[in-house]
Structure 1
């Protein structure tokens, strides 16, 4: 599967306001989302599995990569296209042994050291950020900003998406760094018309 990182949507059901996640994901893909990550923080393993399967029906239909956040077991259970791991999750080298060479493994990087380490260990892509202040990550002291993003991206050789506080107001500035894509949550899911919101984030 060819991977297009242009518009990487991360799910967060707290933004749905009663809407169906599967439908919202489909609308976002129709609007231009090129990659979907299922991210669930406070639900049971069984529920996470169920939600992931539902989203996978849509991503399989549209041939869009499905990434599972953090949970290697869920990724394996549904045979997802890959996982996204944070700095405190399973070490990348171990994750690769478990999942195999054909699965996509992304790593969150907040500085150049983390980015180079992930690249050295065989990450397929990086999620670099937070670029701006964001409501979905409460533990960020100082965002790295556009300059921080450029500093990291210019020194790596693997694809990367920018994440953190990216919206229809600032996304062009982010893409002007040459980054492979942007990763968003509320900029799509927080809108009434997710299809139009996704379209608005495509150059």
Structure 2
């Protein structure tokens, strides 16, 4: 069974002591947190870059991938490890051209096999499915089912990310179904971030394994 890692997504407010909180969250995971997405909205790019730079350095020092949400230009400016694209945020080809062959490019695919296969064919490095549960972080227009993760793991090599309302209490079925990453935000930042990461670590470790080769069409 594939290992499932945590993919932290920032709150919209990354000012104040947020760099310290991010460091505590990453360190509490003891290697469980392997990616962090910088996600801010309606902010001047100069200000976004100013806020992102210490977070970028912090992630680099800890071996955590630093991914920029939505903006290829900001990812390029920050020399980020990659970019996460929504369906209206530009193409994988454009991101690859501007960020280089080693950039990690992810694509939001909602609950759609078709969008995910298109992203894979275009050269995406991972696809994100969701929302699997109601989210307090953003409105969820699309819902995804566990069978989508099973389908993807059965047929494709590209990693898949599960997103949307994921908590330590509800994540086990996603792990069992084959999510390579759990993308989490509110479940971390709405409380004690270190304790929350440790709770995810326990839940992931205790999730029932999926029988080898099992797949429901």
* Distance across 2 between alignment mates of 1:139 and 1:171: 17
Normalised TM-score (structure 2): 0.84
1:198 alignment counterpart: 197
Mapping 1:81-160, distance limit 5 Å: 81-110=81-110, 111-141=112-142, 143-160=143-160
> Per-residue deviation at 1:137?
2.7
Q: Give 3-state SS (helix, strand or coil) of 2:68's partner.
A: strand
What is the CA–CA distance in structure 2 between the aligned matches of 1:6 and 1:124, rounded to whole Å? 15
- TM norm structure 1: 0.90
* Deviation beyond 3 Å, 4+ runs, structure 1: 151-155
Flag structure 2 segments of 5+ consecutive residues without an equivalent: 206-217
Tell whether 2:19 aligns with 1:22: yes
Return the structure number with greater relative CO, CA threshold 8 A, min gap 6.
Answer: 1
CA offsets 1:115-147 (integer angstroms, 9 cap, x no match): 000000100111111111212231415x21323
> Partner of 1:162 in structure 2?
162
Aligned length: 196
Instruction: Give me the CA root mean square deviation.
Output: 1.8
Once residues 125 and 139 of structure 2 are traced to their aligned partners in structure 1, the CA distance between those partners, rounded to angstroms, is: 27
Structure with the greater alpha carbon radius of gyration = 2
1:5–1:35 contact (8 Å) kept in structure 2: no
Unaligned runs of 5+ in 1: none
Aligned to 2:84, the other structure's residue is in SS state strand
